[in-house]
């Protein structure tokens, strides 16, 4: 039995994450939960997130999820998604500045409003849609996923990790930004694997089989 806990801190819809994981997993016991016992007893943890960072961090702290993650990072695979990934950094510029969990050194900042594409067109914010992901480093989570596969993004903020060794994937809008990080048992992505069709489902499949090593 593979026990998977999708951490639910009340910030948005975890239906699609749960559906996608169930779609690729056999013999799963999947819980969408904030319950500490269930989370600590799980074999692997998914940490999603949508919405504003101040509200997210408020609930993460209130429910003690930050402390749970700090303990879990030692021995269980953790997958951070979108705002979940951003919350793992030290600090976000969103909402006039919010301190985050700090599992990864580095910050979260906003895309500029005057971005231009190659043909001079203005690039819209949020960065919304399918963009290519360059696998800057090999990792078990990339298994069976072609380099430069497209994943679905929707975000206005992006991470700026302090340690380049922790960057596993990059995308460009129009300048390169880190969209996949890894450190010990944690793999974190800015895009939404649950909305990224084949490549995204493969990433969840890899996560269900990942032992947390690099």
Partner 1 sequence: MALAKRIIPCLDCENGRVVKGVKFVDIRDAGDPVEVSKRYCDQGADEITFLDITASHEGRQTTIDTVHAIAGQVFIPLTVGGGIRTLQDIRDMLNAGADKVAINTSAVKNPDFVRQASERFGSQCIVVAIDAKKVSGKGEPDRWEIFTHGGRNPTGLDAVAWAQKMVDLGAGEILLTSMDRDGTKNGFDLALNRAISDAVTVPVIASGGVGNLQHLVDGITEGGADAVLAASIFHFGEYSIPEAKQYMHDQGIEVRI
State the residues that interact with partner 1 by CB under 8 A: 12-13, 15-16, 19-20, 23, 50-52, 113, 117-118, 121-132, 148, 150, 152-156, 172-174, 194-197, 200-201
CA distance 200 to 206: 10
CA of residue 170 relative to chain centroid, distance: 13
Identify which of residues 148 and 160 has a Cβ nearer to partner 1 in the complex: 148
CA distance 84 to 5: 14
Set 74, 94, 194, 214: catalytic member? 194
Tokens of 8: 């639910």
Identify which of residues 75 and 121 has a Cβ nearer to partner 1 in the complex: 121
Q: Report in angstroms how near the CB of residue 202 gets to partner 1 at its nearest.
A: 11
Set 15, 166, 192, 214: catalytic member? 192
Q: Report in angstroms how near the CB of residue 15 gets to partner 1 at its nearest.
A: 5
Identify which of residues 21 and 65 has a Cβ nearer to partner 1 in the complex: 21
Active-site residue flag, 82: yes
Q: Report in angstroms how near the CB of residue 71 gets to partner 1 at its nearest.
A: 29
Q: Report in angstroms how near the CB of residue 207 gets to partner 1 at its nearest.
A: 15
User: Do the Cβ atoms of 50 and 12 come closer than 8 Å?
Assistant: yes
Identify which of residues 107 and 196 has a Cβ nearer to partner 1 in the complex: 196
User: Do the Cβ atoms of 68 and 27 come closer than 8 Å?
Assistant: no
CA distance 196 to 110: 23
CA distance 182 to 203: 14
Tokens of 121: 């067109």
End-to-end CA distance of the chain: 23
Q: Report in angstroms how near the CB of residue 214 gets to partner 1 at its nearest.
A: 26
DSSP states of 135-182 as a string?
E-S--GGGTT--TT-EEEEEESEEEEES-GGGEEEEEESSSEEEEEEE
Identify which of residues 1 and 118 has a Cβ nearer to partner 1 in the complex: 118
Active-site residue flag, 139: no
DSSP states of 98-135 as a string?
EE---SSSEEEEEPPTT-B-TTSPBPPSSEEEEEE-EE
Which residues are catalytically annotated? 82, 192, 194
């Amino acid at each position: 039995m593979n026990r998977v806990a999708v951490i639910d801190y009340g910030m948005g819809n975890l239906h699609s994450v749960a559906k996608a994981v169930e779609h690729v997993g056999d013999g799963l016991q999947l819980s969408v939960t904030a319950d500490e016992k269930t989370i600590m007893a799980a074999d692997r943890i998914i940490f999603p997130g949508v919405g504003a960072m101040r509200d997210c961090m408020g609930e993460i702290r209130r429910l003690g999820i930050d402390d749970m993650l700090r303990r879990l990072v030692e021995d269980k695979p953790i997958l951070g998604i979108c705002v979940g990934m951003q919350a793992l950094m030290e600090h976000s510029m969103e909402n006039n500045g919010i301190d985050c969990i700090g599992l990864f050194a580095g910050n979260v900042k906003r895309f500029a409003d005057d971005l231009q594409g190659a043909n001079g067109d203005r690039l819209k914010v949020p960065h919304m849609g399918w963009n290519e992901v360059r696998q800057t480093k090999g990792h078990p989570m990339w298994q069976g996923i072609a380099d430069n596969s497209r994943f679905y993004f929707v975000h206005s903020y992006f991470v700026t990790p302090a340690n380049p060794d922790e960057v596993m994937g990059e995308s460009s809008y129009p300048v390169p930004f880190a969209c996949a990080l890894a450190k010990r048992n944690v793999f974190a992505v800015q895009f939404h694997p649950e909305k990224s069709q084949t490549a995204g489902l493969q990433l969840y499949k890899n996560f269900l089989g990942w032992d947390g090593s690099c």
